[in-house]
Amino acid sequence: MAEKGIAEKQLLSYADVFANILNVGLFDGDGVIHPEELTDVLPQSTYKADGKLREQERDVAKLWRDSELRLALFGLENQSAIDKTMPLRIMGYDGAAYRNELNAKDVKMYPVVTVVLYFGWEQRWKKPRCLKDCFAIPERLAPYVSDYRINVIEIAWLPDDVIAKFSNPFRMVAEYFSQMRKKQEYHPSEEYVRHAKEMLDLMALLTKDVRFKEAKTHVKEGASMTMRSILLDQIEEKSRAEGEARGRAEGEAYGEARGTEKTWVASARNIMKNMKLTAQQAVEALSVPTELRAKVLEQL
């Protein structure tokens, strides 16, 4: 789980990727948030349960600053499956962040915004999207129950023009899930991938596509490659190498079989000559293996 969590967070932890996701997901592609305005914050917070302090951890969290002024705290959460408790989880993360603000001295209060990135492509994110959807609330009680809405971005269902607003590499991530939803197949881009290794780590975890797991073993840190070359060329090269190895093995086996076949033919000819036997009688007398008899007889 620790390795899985780290791999999921690496790509989104880059300030350029983080800012781009928020700008497209929240601000229609406008460059409201700049990477240099983001600083990392600890994603962990604690809560008390059963008399014990327990820890909860966001996927990625960053503070948005304008000079020295704190404007907001943003959090990103990855989900490949629908979680019915997501509003409760998000409320717990956000509530802990607000509690930290209250405990801090001489800090002007600022808002907390969490965005859920849903990567499922076989079904849309269904309820709940808000706190009230988590419960069966009596009608007369409903007006008094405070609600809490969550922000869910369904990556696979984003329109093509919205996906085009994402920058490399998250655009390629979104293109994969969109194509899988529409056609159940993926055609990789010829564009060079930024943060290639981190992107492949994320995709290997989010998808069941073995190509990403295979490809990430070939890509080195900081490598400059296209998505097509990452997924296709290297895997095709591996297939060619495996094919050549199989060919060599089959050739050796065939050579051994041919050598054995020639030995049987020579022996059969010898006893046919010396013992005046027919080809069929010679083959039977020598107990030539059944799988070789037809080939030996053809040469006698």
* Ranges of the chain whose pLDDT falls below 50: 1-2, 239-241, 243-244, 247-248, 250-252, 254-255
Is 152 contained in some domain?
yes
Q: The dihedral of CA 124, 7, 204, 62: what is its sign?
A: positive
What is the per-residue pLDDT for 69? 80
155 and 6 assigned to the same domain: yes
Looking at the structure of the chain, the number of domains it has is 2
Is 177 contained in some domain?
no
What is the per-residue pLDDT for 119? 96
Domain end (from 100, 133, 160): 160
59 and 154 assigned to the same domain: yes
- Taking CA 91 as the corner, what is the angle to CA 100 and CA 89, rounded to the nearest 5 degrees? 115
Is 184 contained in some domain?
no
Domain end (from 160, 183, 203): 160
248 and 148 assigned to the same domain: no
Is 256 contained in some domain?
yes
Is 119 contained in some domain?
yes
Is 143 contained in some domain?
yes
pLDDT digits (tens, 9 = 90+) for 144-197: 999 999 999 999 999 999 999 999 999 999 999 999 999 998 988 888 888 888
Is 286 contained in some domain?
yes
Are the C-beta atoms of residues 146 and 86 closer than 8 Å to each other? no
Domain end (from 160, 183, 218): 160
Which residue type, as a one-letter code, is found at position 73?
L
What is the per-residue pLDDT for 108? 86
147 and 251 assigned to the same domain: no
142 and 31 assigned to the same domain: yes
128 and 262 assigned to the same domain: no
156 and 253 assigned to the same domain: no
Q: Show the domain range for 269.
A: 241-298
Is 31 contained in some domain?
yes
24 and 119 assigned to the same domain: yes
7 and 145 assigned to the same domain: yes
3-state SS string for the chain: CHHHHHHHHHHHHCHHHHHHHHHHHHHCCCCCCCHHHEEECCCEEEEEECCEEEEEECCEEEEEEECCEEEEEEEEEEECCCCCCHHHHHHHHHHHHHHHHHHCCCCCCCCEEEEEEECCCCCCCCCCCEHHHHCCCCCCCHHHCCCCECEEEEHHHCCHHHHCCCCCCHHHHHHHHHHHHHHCCCCCCCCECCCHHHHHHHHHHHCCCHHHHHHHCCCCCCCCCEHHHHHHHHHHHHHHHHHHHHHHHHHHHHHHHHHHHHHHHHHHHHHHHHHCCCHHHHHHHHCCCHHHHHHHHHCC
